[in-house]
Amino acid sequence: MKTREIAEVVGGELVGDGEVEVSRVAALGHAGAGEIAFADKSDAELGEASCVLVGRGYDGPARGGRSVIKVDDPKLAFARVGAILHPSKRYEAERHSSAVVSESATIGKGVFLGAFTCVGDGSTIGDGTVLRAGAKVGDNVRVGSNCVLHLNVFVEDACTIGDNVILHSGVVIGTPGFGFVRDKQGEYHQFPQIGTVVIEDNVEIGANTCIDRGALGETRIGEGTKIDNLVQIAHNVCIGKRVVIAAQTGISGSTVIEDDCVIGGQVGMGDHATVKSGAIIGSQAGVLPGKIVRAGVWWGTPVQPLDEYKRQNAMVKSLARLRDEVKELKKKLGG
């Protein structure tokens, strides 16, 4: 791909040779001939890359036949170029001999069914969707078009998956939620878990993440949301559009996370909490049951606005000094 073509794709201003060929992306410090990198600082050393994506404020020259492309967001532009130069593997239509497909299932055009895949009764697989080896789809499931279900993904009965959804290896969708009622003898009885899971378009879910079905209603993941590995989402949780959730987060039942939120790693959320649109919750924070987290940056356990968390943290760190001062005062007072 020529540098002038890259500039057109990213809407950038090319400085230098527009005919330089680029075939790979690479980190700035290691990039060489035929590779493109990005610099997120205006004074960064550009190294030996054939082309570098830089911010609009960059005023240095293109050197020795190399090129730079000025853009608003170098990292975003780099991601877009990377998707072109390193596209995801494409799968041609195929049904492996070991695939098990119900006679009542509907399989769209161009579908890839890998080894030991299963599609249950009454289920629908949309055009161009890929089920890699070991992926299992239960009964009465709808999987949309151009989805990828990676190795050993399980989608349980009566769940709905939108278009362009990626489920990474080991994802489990639609298992019963963790809901029990205790009787007078102390025995636990499972509350009915007969709802569903709805995953909207353009969602990506990381490896070994589990999403429970609703108890009586639905668990919903909104359009464009990205979920990391090893995340637990309980029954009746509703997650909005374009939400980002990092690894090892646990979200308890009936919690609502509105659009455009960012949830850090290892965050724990109690049941029936609400996270308002635009909130950012830092790693390892704890959200108590029923808590309402409004827009802004939050941290700590229990979760609190970042400025308040910083003040409290500073106070805790000063306790040792305060103790020493109190001891000194007691000595002076003869205590």
Residue 170, SS3 per DSSP: coil
Q: Which residues of 262-274 are buried (b: 16+ CB within 10 A; e: fewer)?
A: bbbbbbbbbbebb
> Annotated catalytic residue: which of 86, 150, 168, 235?
235
The DSSP string of 1-20 is -BHHHHHHHHT-EEES-TT-
Q: Report d(CA 187, CA 79) in Å as an integer.
A: 53
177 is written with which tokens? 């939620």
At residue 207, the 3 state secondary structure works out as coil
Residue 103: Cβ within 10 Å count = 5
Query: Taking phi first (over 0 means left), then psi (-120 to 50 degrees means alpha), and beta for anything else, what does residue 318 get?
Result: alpha
Q: What's the Cα-to-Cα distance from 75 to each of 38, 68, 136, 293, rounded to whole Å?
A: 6, 14, 36, 30
**Alpha-carbon torsion, ordered 175, 216, 200, 286, to 10 deg:** -70
Residues 59-72 as b/e (b if ≥16 CB within 10 A, e otherwise) read eeebeeebbbbbbe
Q: DSSP code of 317?
A: H
3-class DSSP assignment, residue 129 = coil
* Cα 95–chain centre separation: 30
Active site residue 235: yes
Residue corresponding to tokens 């959730």: 245
In angstroms, the CA 300 to CA 282 distance is 8
Residues with catalytic annotation?
Answer: 235
